Structure 1
Amino acid sequence: MNAKSQLGDFLQARRSQLRPEDVGVPTYGERRRVPGLRREELALLAGVSASYYTRLEQGQSLSASPEVLDALAVALRLDESERRYLHDLARLGRHRAQRRRPAPERVTPATRQLLDVLADVPAIVLGRRTDVLAWNRLGHALFAGHLDRGAPDLPAQRPNMARLVFLDSHVRGLYADWPSKARAVVGNLRVVAGRHPEDVALHALLGELSAKSAVFASMWADHRIKACTVAAYEMCHPLVGSLTVLQQTLSHGPGPIVVVATTETGSPSRAALALLAQATTQAGFLADPAQTRPRVAEG
């Protein structure tokens, strides 16, 4: 997969998702053989020639200016995250990145200190492929308490949150609205794939998820973009029951990110989180040893 093919796939997918009536294109009652807008209809809306747009969608042209890309974004009704993604794909298509082995992702001492300070808040550190690089005690207990807490310290055993969300029944069961969480994971991976089209390990993960989860494959084919930095989720934790958390991404430029889960002051969710914190200080907070083994969910 490269940025050139991703650009064409993205344009084609989003064009097929727009109905003529959504954008005021008359059809005069004709029967259409393909869903969505035709190429010439989208080209007209964007103010470019149909032949030029066709070359762009087929990956035969890399000359799209920022103005043309913005016009296409308006015609396709893209939001701001999707518009930036479109520009990323076009830029990377013009300047092909050299294929090289990515540097190992590590947690800095400063980030480790941050995890220590956030002792009362669930926090995890994620690499760009959603590998769990570190977590504090409460982050481990909330998001993946059935796994070995020391797993992130062993590169060969590091959990991967995208893999857990789609393939692990314990993590899948944590989310009352699992499809919403799944769409957020896929949308974020789309953003990362657009920025790092030569990341072999990333595309291996995408291939694995597509092969093992039909739901992931379907969501990936939609080409939906979602730079999810703040989102509320109702969770159903096996130890403390229902709680609503606000998952927020703390990022300071390139590199690993810190994801924290907060709750409203004085709420039942805050009480549930306090109960979970208390449980994590007791030996063996998951009493059943069988729960330490990950279970695979069919998707």
Structure 2
Amino acid sequence: MDDLAGFLRTRRSRVDPASVGIPTDSRRRVAGLRREEVAHLSGVSVDYYVRLEQGRAKQPSEQVLDALARVLGLDETERGHVHRLARQGRRRVSAPGGRRVRPELLRVLALVADAPALITNHRLDVLAGNRLAGLLYGRPVAGLNTARHIFLEEAERGLYADWEQCTLDVVGHLRLAAGKYPDDPRLASLVGELAMGSERFRRLWARAEVRARAHGRKAYRHPLVGLLELHQENFALPDGSGMELLVLSAPEGSPSEDALRLLAGLGADGADAHAEARAPVRE
């Protein structure tokens, strides 16, 4: 799904030559840096760098990867990603298997009463959600895949007020997951499904950008309570499962806090969405 050669090519094409001290003129026809320029600036031979981009070179050293990261202007997330891609041939990492969410964690999830909260895995499958999460999405969230939901179900319906930003975050997350778990068939199948069903996904995936979003703004246009401007915090579970707890909170005293209270009240007489936390799906 992802490889070091392809990542290096996309990153090279985006470096402004002037930013690394290379003068340009109207005769230059290459987008970004040339291969020989990357090789020279990183202190490796042109032949070796060409073989890296062609996928024919042996695993590069940590020093070479750090030099390439510096020349290509990689941020911390991209640096970690390029090191993982380089290690794929040395040590394959198996994707976490079919784990159930621990009952103790489900109790914690149910205690989050005033904010939508979800537990997801590295493929963005929702394994469990609290009552407000079900009311926010207007459906049982356990079993939902948020990547599929954003690209294939909600592109035209408007639940996500920042839909374009959401698509960037999703593709960046899946790129990171593909680099970490290159042999996960279910992840590969999801990527293929999204590529077949969404032109935007195909274009974003080809850019090979990676993102690790631990917190940030998320806005929703709910059909019953209107605009919800929330703050998302991602809490990675420290058990190596690849699961995260996501909590969507509203600022105190804000219209969104009032809207969440209204949403909770509107759903009070409906089916109890706490059942979702009692019956999480298996990965």
TM-score (norm 1): 0.85
Structure 2 equivalent of residue 266 of structure 1: 253
Q: Is the 8 A contact 1:62 1:94 kept in 2?
A: no
Provide closer, same or farther for how the CA distance between residues 52 and 127 of structure 1 changes in structure 2, counting only shifts above 3 A: same
SS in 2 for 1:94: coil
The CA distance in 1 between the partners of 2:128 and 2:12, in whole Å, is 40
Query: What is the CA distance between 1:95 and its match in structure 2?
Result: 2.4
> 93, 107, 114: which one pairs with 2:108?
114
SS in 2 for 1:93: coil
The CA distance in 2 between the partners of 1:57 and 1:172, in whole Å, is 41
Structure 2 equivalent of residue 95 of structure 1: 91
Figure out how many residues of one structure are paired with residues of the other and give that number: 270
Q: Is the 8 A contact 1:124 1:259 kept in 2?
A: yes
The CA distance in 2 between the partners of 1:165 and 1:105, in whole Å, is 24
Structure 2 equivalent of residue 212 of structure 1: 197
Query: What is the CA distance between 1:110 and its match in structure 2?
Result: 1.9
Relative contact order, CA 8 A, sep 6+: which one is greater? 2
The CA distance in 2 between the partners of 1:93 and 1:279, in whole Å, is 53
Query: What is the CA distance between 1:24 and its match in structure 2?
Result: 2.4
> 124, 129, 148: which one pairs with 1:130?
124
Provide closer, same or farther for how the CA distance between residues 283 and 63 of structure 1 changes in structure 2, counting only shifts above 3 A: closer
Query: What is the CA distance between 1:252 and its match in structure 2?
Result: 2.4
Query: What is the CA distance between 1:194 and its match in structure 2?
Result: 0.4
Q: Is the 8 A contact 2:227 2:256 kept in 1?
A: yes
Structure 1 equivalent of residue 82 of structure 2: 86
Note the 1:142-153 alignment, pairs <5 A: 142=136, 144-145=137-138, 147=139, 149=140, 152=142
Provide closer, same or farther for how the CA distance between residues 170 and 278 of structure 1 changes in structure 2, counting only shifts above 3 A: farther
Structure 2 equivalent of residue 235 of structure 1: 220
The CA distance in 2 between the partners of 1:102 and 1:270, in whole Å, is 36
> 267, 271, 278: which one pairs with 1:280?
267
Q: Is the 8 A contact 2:119 2:128 kept in 1?
A: yes
Provide closer, same or farther for how the CA distance between residues 107 and 97 of structure 1 changes in structure 2, counting only shifts above 3 A: closer
Pair 1:183 & 2:173 matched: no
Pair 1:25 & 2:19 matched: no
> 61, 71, 74: which one pairs with 1:75?
71
Provide closer, same or farther for how the CA distance between residues 30 and 170 of structure 1 changes in structure 2, counting only shifts above 3 A: closer
Query: What is the CA distance between 1:102 and its match in structure 2?
Result: 5.7
SS in 2 for 1:174: coil
SS in 1 for 2:220: strand
Q: Is the 8 A contact 1:62 1:90 kept in 2?
A: no
The CA distance in 1 between the partners of 2:253 and 2:93, in whole Å, is 50
SS in 1 for 2:158: helix
Query: What is the CA distance between 1:234 and its match in structure 2?
Result: 2.4
The CA distance in 2 between the partners of 1:64 and 1:212, in whole Å, is 36
Q: Is the 8 A contact 1:122 1:136 kept in 2?
A: yes
The CA distance in 2 between the partners of 1:114 and 1:159, in whole Å, is 20
The gaps in structure 1 that reach 5 residues or longer are: 153-157, 286-299
The gaps in structure 2 that reach 5 residues or longer are: 273-283
Q: Which sits farther off after the overlay, 234-243 or 183-192?
A: 234-243
Query: What is the CA distance between 1:97 and its match in structure 2?
Result: 5.1
The CA distance in 2 between the partners of 1:199 and 1:129, in whole Å, is 10
Structure 1 equivalent of residue 211 of structure 2: 226
The CA distance in 2 between the partners of 1:62 and 1:210, in whole Å, is 30
